[in-house]
Amino acid sequence: MKNSVYTIEQADKRYIWHPFTQQQSWEADPQIVIERAEGSYLIDVQGKRYLDGVSSLWVNVHGHRRPEINRAIQDQLERVAHTTFLGLTHPSAVELAERLIQIAPGQLSRVFYSDTGAAAMEIALKMAFQYWQQCASPQPGKTKFFVLNSGYHGDTVGAMSLGGIEIYQQVYHPLLFPTLRASSACCYHCPLHTSYPDCQFACLEEVERIIARHAHELAAVVMEPLVQGAAGIFVYPAGYTRKVREIARRHNVLFIVDEVATGFGKTGKMFACEHEDIDPDLMALGKGITGGYLPLAATLATEEIYRAFLGTPEEGRTFYHGHTYTGNPVCCAAALASLDLFEQDRTLALLQVKIALLQQQLEHFKYLPLVGDIRQCGFMVGIELVQDRHTRTPFPAHEQVAVRVVKEARRRGVIIRPLSDVLVIMPPLAITPEELLTLLQVTYDAICAVTEELL
């Protein structure tokens, strides 16, 4: 194919079906064709640079084209690109598992590899389900899952069943298994119409009531710790995740955390669980695990859960789950190099100043007439746009206000993405303070430009 923006874009529109994309709009609009990247920037085929304000969908950690990760991948390719993990093992997977367990919260001690966050969650569900069938004191009636509304755990059928965002589920309800659920703790959209901290976690009463009533049939409580990402960066009040974990323990229900979006530094610590000293029974990882290079995911389990699966072949305790590229050596090599960079670059220590800068600069957005709420958890930011900030009235869906802001930002050289009418900012952790200021200024200016069109 001739390397021009016209031929590549036209061929894309002829042959490709993009994720989470209304293709009719995609085919009608001009599109950016990314050819290469450098640091915090994506570069199109015409040489225009775009600041990567969403870390290429929440995955890039240390910047694009890091020589250290490149070398690790190249070195691994000199040895072996792939070998099955069924009945075989290899050094990179073993070393990575050991290092993940060393940094993991609580008593997690075993690593099961997969290739996407959704797969990691499917694995956690199946492990929790099977655990209760064959643990030391089996409780085969514990087959259901408790979740929070507005949660997102992936788009495979099991992970989607746990979700609580209607737009992603509405067509598929007949495929999904039922769950027990309660309202989420998003203060801006509080269903109880109370305010924190005066409410004293009133929303937890429903959580406790449902879990207590159904503990005998609940395999696990499932949640994103600290913040619900795909919902629009819904940040829980401090201590909320910890309290839900305590409720689960009190009623003898496993606790599964989905750290696919929150893991690897995005909340300011390596894992979100660390903020509230949470010890999960199962934890799903993905996205940033390889620094934004290659698809890899992992489900971490405690030794107690692992040992429930041990036995002779005829006992039927085996965990029958796997993926063709489970524990791929090249992916594991990239993940190891990424963990090395966390230490070499002092990523988490240096991030704290940038988190403070981000919080400081976001104060300016509060005075914009379209901005209803600003939610921040570390380097995860959601700016919710509303038609009326006093009544919190949203824009009609057809107005596509956040999409218009995103397009305006792109014209100005910044990539951000919308979740409905929430603008998401989640740059690479390695972004410089100067680049961060540029990202925020362009976003601010783009909101102002769209405001002028609307008012």
pLDDT digits (tens, 9 = 90+) for 28-55: 999 999 999 999 999 999 999 999 999 9
Show which of 344, 366, 399 is a domain's final residue. 344
What pLDDT band is residue 426 in, cutting at 50, 70 and 90?
very high
Please state, in angstroms and rounded to a whole number, the distance separating the CA atoms of residues 162 and 149: 9
- 109 and 75 in a single domain? The answer is yes
Give CA–CA dist 204/244, Å, rounded. 8
State whether 94 and 56 are in the same domain: no
Q: Which of 302, 329, 344 is the last residue of a domain?
A: 344
244 and 278 share a domain? yes
Burial of 22 (0-12, 13-18, 19+ CB in 10 A): exposed
Task: Tell me the pLDDT tens digit for each residue of 287-333.
Answer: 999 999 999 999 999 999 999 999 999 999 999 999 999 999 999 99
DSSP state letter for 313: G
C-alpha 227, offset from chain centre = 10
Distance, CA of 204 to CA of 212 (rounded, Å)? 12
Give domain status of residue 126, yes or no: yes
204-241 residue pLDDT tens: 999 999 999 999 999 999 999 999 999 999 999 999 99
CATH number of the domain encompassing residue 37? 3.90.1150.10
Residue 2 has pLDDT above 90, yes or no: no
Report whether pLDDT(200) > 90. no
Please count the CA atoms within 13 angstroms of the CA of 7 that sit on its side-chain side: 4
List pLDDT tens digits, range 338-352.
999 999 999 999 999
> Mean pLDDT across the chain, nearest whole number?
96
Inter-residue contact 225 to 278 (CB < 8 Å): yes
Residues 332 and 396 in one domain: no
**38 three-state secondary structure:** strand
One domain, residues 363 and 312: no
Last residue of a domain, one of 282, 312, 344: 344
For residue 334, the Cα-to-chain-centroid distance in whole angstroms is 19
